[in-house]
Chain A
Amino acid sequence: MAKIIVVTSGKGGVGKTTTSASIATGLAKRGKKTVVIDFDVGLRNLDLIMNCERRVVYDFVNVINGEATLTQALIKDKHVDNLYILAASQTRDKDALTKEGVEGILNKLAETYDFIICDSPAGIEHGAQMALHFADEAIVVTNPEVSSVRDSDRILGILQSKSRRAELGMDPVGEHLLLTRYNPERVLKGEMLAVEDVKEILAIKLLGVIPDSQSVLNASNQGVPVILDENSDAGQAYSDAVDRLLGEDKEHRFLDIQKKGFFKRMFGG
């Protein structure tokens, strides 16, 4: 049985696409047949992060409208085996994603894939609701900052009332908190919400903490998901998150200031 995972947040620009690319790549690297779908109709981004922008011929909406088959639209990833990408449409018609259309495609994909990752657009409107509607699990991407935490809580409310699982009275959607752009130094100075604070407020299970890191930008510049930069802090943090998603019990890393940061704090700026 395929597992459908939505990567969602409410607030924009918090790291959903970065996360979708890395989680999907991590799952595929561990041998899981994975497909990642860009639900951000009109604003396609995932193809850039995964460096397949020039290979997009058909997109998600083309398949829904019967203008292309799934096989024609799925793009095979160049970095890892077992990974396919379904690009978002650049149409301006936001209602192009119908519930029936999305359901049909997900059902089809579920026949062959182990994991279906849905990269949600920002907001709590139609596009975001379509991305989360059929989810079995949700990765709620949150920055340690008031508006992001508040929006995450709203998204949790929608998952609990408007998802297919909620509507059918099935087991609720599994909720995972992924705290991204975390800066332990600023937390120590009292300038940034700590991971415990966010956990306490949202009251959901912590999947991982991704440090605020230059390596994310370096990776996106090159079109390589940061999880493949195995020497980077963010890459390792994503890798741990994938292991936890697969049920492994891993201790959280990068919550404290790295050693050299201590001396920098004492003697530097």
Chain B
Amino acid sequence: MSFFDYFKTKKQNTASIAKERLQIIVAHERTTRNQPDYLPQLQQELLDVIRKYVSIREEDIQVQLDKNGNCSVLELNVTLPE
């Protein structure tokens, strides 16, 4: 390996890419972890209803249940097309 190659590979630093990817996937999986079983079905049905009026893609809708003490919040996020 030449002197310059050494710095090139050093710059690439695949470990930091790994860390970033992990932070994203782990954060995502933690929020979906303790979700009730009915959530995917609920999401599908909401998608069907919204599609009666606006055309959206599958990934434009997000449903999530958050528990705060004794109160649960159902969060519904829909991204409408421009």
Q: Which residues of A contact B (CB under 8 A)?
A: 145-146, 149-150, 153-154, 157, 161, 187, 189-194, 197, 201-202
Contact = CB atoms under 8 A, between A and B. Distances in A.
B15 A191 contact: yes
Interface of B: 9-10, 12-16, 18-19, 21-23, 25-26, 29-30, 33-34
Contacts of A201: 19, 22-23, 26
26 contacts: A145-B18, A146-B22, A149-B26, A150-B22, A150-B29, A153-B29, A154-B29, A157-B30, A157-B34, A161-B33, A161-B34, A189-B9, A190-B9, A190-B10, A190-B12, A190-B13, A190-B14, A190-B15, A190-B16, A191-B15, A193-B15, A193-B19, A197-B15, A201-B19, A201-B23, A201-B26
A267 to B, nearest CB: 13
Contacts of A194: 15
Contacts of B16: 190
B14 A150 contact: no
Q: Give the top 3 A-B pairs by smallest Cβ distance, nearest first.
A: A190-B13, A197-B19, A157-B33
A192 B15 contact: yes
B79 to A, nearest CB: 27
B15 to A, nearest CB: 5
Contacts, number: 46
Contacts of B13: 190
Given A149-B22, A201-B19, A191 B14 contact: yes
B81 to A, nearest CB: 33
Contacts of B9: 189-190
B1 to A, nearest CB: 8
A150 B9 CA distance: 26
Contacts of B21: 146
Given A149-B26, A153-B30, A193-B15, 12 more contacts: A150-B22, A150-B25, A150-B26, A157-B30, A189-B10, A190-B14, A191-B15, A192-B15, A193-B18, A193-B22, A197-B18, A197-B19
B71 to A, nearest CB: 19
Nearest to B1: A269
